[in-house]
Amino acid sequence: MGTRSSIGIQHHSGFVTAIYCHWDGYPEHVGLILHQHYDSHKTKQLMLLGNISVLAPEIGAKHSFDDNSDLVCTAYGRDRGDEEQEASEWADADDWYGEFGMGAQHFYLLRPDGTWMWRDSYDKEDWALVEDYLAKKKLITQKTPLTPRA
Write down the pLDDT at residue 121.
83
Write down the pLDDT at residue 145.
52
Beta bridge partners of 72: 58
Write down the pLDDT at residue 68.
72
Helices (H) and strands (E) in the chain, counts: 5, 8
Write down the pLDDT at residue 124.
66
* CA 106 from centroid of its chain's CA atoms: 9
Q: CB–CB of 6/104 below 8 Å?
A: yes
Compute mean pLDDT per 10 residues along the chain, 150 residues long, and list them. Answer: 90 96 94 96 97 96 85 96 96 88 86 95 82 90 54
Write down the pLDDT at residue 49.
97
Write down the pLDDT at residue 142.
63
Q: What is the pTM of this model?
A: 0.90
Please list, in sequence order, all residues whose beta carbon lies within 8 angstroms of the beta carbon of residue 141, skipping any fewer than 6 positions away: none
